[in-house]
Chains A and B, each alone.
Chain A
Amino acid sequence: MIKPIIDWLIYDILKMQQGSLFAEALNFFLYDTIKIFLLLTVIIFIVSFIRTFFSPERTRAILSHKHKFTGNVLAALLGIVTPFCSCSAVPLFLGFIEAGVPLGATFSFLVSSPMINEVALIMLWGLFGWKIALIYIGSGLSIAILSGIIIGKLKVENLVEKFSYKKPACCAEELKQTFNDRIVFSRDYTKDILKTVWLYVIIGIGLGAWIHGYVPADLLAKYAGRGNWLAVPFATLVGIPLYSNAAGVIPLVSALTEKGVAMGTALAFMMAVTGLSLPEFIILRKVMKLKLLIIFICVVGVGIIITGYLFNLILG
């Protein structure tokens, strides 16, 4: 539905030459931008509406009675729907631990919550298609569940910094929300997210469109193709400091896969961008001993790298 309108605008109104590099790049840019923003608006609204039913308090209550494997699976799944912001990582982490949520399950949550976020999923769906988006969700969940199980098995509870903690007296009345409250919350939340990501999205899609139109195909195949085994760990490392730009990075990666970057490498890169975030580590250092933080980063990092190799083998 969007495509014919853009074709009409570019080739009939602006009278650009069909097949010229600039016209193609502009077409690509406009189409992706409009599509992504439509998706972002609609889906963030729906997701934030669903989220009004999953406060961190409720998630914690569900998880505090679960053990071992079920706890990890549930924590990873709840990570998708529970609102999360890396600046809240510390109070959330301690809140979970203090309420008796097992350390492993807490980590499953900490991995899946930022990694499987709505913005990343929408960008993946819009630019790579639903199959890649599903693969991303599946691998993200697996990494979250397994990382949590491994960290749980290591018995590293002693590496959590001690804190004084008052039982939450908060928000008992806040949980009662009317339908209207939820709609207002979702509307505001959608506006908030759009406000923070729009520029990154446009720059990302713009650069992507430029690469799509001007960079020769297969330019990167030699460096980031399936043949280069170092590409996956390298992509994972590069992704760590890019957290806040996830929305801009995905369109870029989408264009790069057309130019020879292998799909598994691209997936590993995107997971590192969303799941391993430098600012979050710095914040989490306040509640975890350095050793635990390093274990956490290594377990998740290795999981991401394995996923990258695996999909380079499968997807080709």
Chain B
Amino acid sequence: MKIEILGVGCPKCKQLTVNVEAAVKELNIAAEISKVTDIDKIIEYGVMMTPALAIDGTIVLAGKILSKEEIKKIISK
């Protein structure tokens, strides 16, 4: 599974990254987490609000921080 966090580096994006990392660790799954900070790439995804989260190239959330538990729910789907 490929998880991407989209955002140009505001504090919210960092918080989301921390939560995603924690969620992946607790679920104990193999996931590659990467940050997308390049604005061209973010726009290519069609996102209008950051931070956003993409799983395997599909945007699942935009414009807010999810808690670890909420991310776990999304990932396990």
Chain A residues at the B interface, C-beta cutoff of 8 Å: 55-57, 60, 83, 85, 87-88, 90-92, 94-95, 163-171, 174, 185, 188-189, 192, 283, 286
Q: What B residues does A185 contact at CB under 8 A?
A: 64
| A224 CB to nearest chain B CB (Å) | 34
Q: Which of B1-35 contact A (CB under 8 A)?
A: 7-10, 12-13
* C-alpha gap A168/B44 in the complex (Å): 9
Q: A83-B49, A85-B49, A165-B44 are in contact. Are A90 and B39 (CB under 8 A)?
A: yes
Whether B58 contacts A88 by the Cβ 8 Å rule is: no
* C-alpha gap A57/B44 in the complex (Å): 16
Whether B48 contacts A95 by the Cβ 8 Å rule is: yes
Chain A CB within 8 A of B42 CB: yes
Nearest residue (CB) in A for B59 is A170
Whether B48 contacts A87 by the Cβ 8 Å rule is: no
* C-alpha gap A185/B64 in the complex (Å): 9
Q: Which of B23-70 contact A (CB under 8 A)?
A: 39-40, 42-50, 52, 58-65
Whether B50 contacts A91 by the Cβ 8 Å rule is: yes
| B47 CB to nearest chain A CB (Å) | 5
Q: A85-B10, A87-B8 are in contact. Are A168 and B48 (CB under 8 A)?
A: yes
Whether A170 contacts B7 by the Cβ 8 Å rule is: no
| B64 CB to nearest chain A CB (Å) | 7
| B72 CB to nearest chain A CB (Å) | 16
Q: What B residues does A170 contact at CB under 8 A?
A: 45-47, 52, 59, 62
| B15 CB to nearest chain A CB (Å) | 9
Whether B45 contacts A92 by the Cβ 8 Å rule is: no
Q: What A residues does B12 contact at CB under 8 A?
A: 85, 87
Question: Can you spell out 22 A-B residue pairs with CB atoms less than 8 angstroms apart?
Answer: A56-B48, A85-B12, A87-B9, A87-B50, A88-B48, A88-B49, A90-B39, A91-B47, A92-B49, A95-B46, A164-B43, A165-B43, A166-B44, A167-B46, A168-B46, A169-B46, A170-B47, A171-B59, A171-B62, A174-B60, A174-B62, A283-B8
Q: What A residues does B64 contact at CB under 8 A?
A: 185, 188-189
Chain B residues at the A interface, C-beta cutoff of 8 Å: 7-10, 12-13, 39-40, 42-50, 52, 58-65
| B44 CB to nearest chain A CB (Å) | 5
* C-alpha gap A92/B13 in the complex (Å): 16
* C-alpha gap A169/B52 in the complex (Å): 13
Query: Of A55, A85, A95, A163, which is within 8 A of B40 by CB?
Result: A163
Whether B48 contacts A60 by the Cβ 8 Å rule is: yes
Q: What B residues does A188 contact at CB under 8 A?
A: 64-65
| B35 CB to nearest chain A CB (Å) | 14
| A195 CB to nearest chain B CB (Å) | 10
Q: What A residues does B59 contact at CB under 8 A?
A: 169-171
Whether B43 contacts A163 by the Cβ 8 Å rule is: yes
| A107 CB to nearest chain B CB (Å) | 16
* C-alpha gap A168/B42 in the complex (Å): 11
| B17 CB to nearest chain A CB (Å) | 14
| A87 CB to nearest chain B CB (Å) | 4
Query: Of A57, A85, A91, which is within 8 A of B42 by CB?
Result: A91
| B46 CB to nearest chain A CB (Å) | 3
* C-alpha gap A92/B39 in the complex (Å): 11
Q: What A residues does B50 contact at CB under 8 A?
A: 85, 87-88, 91
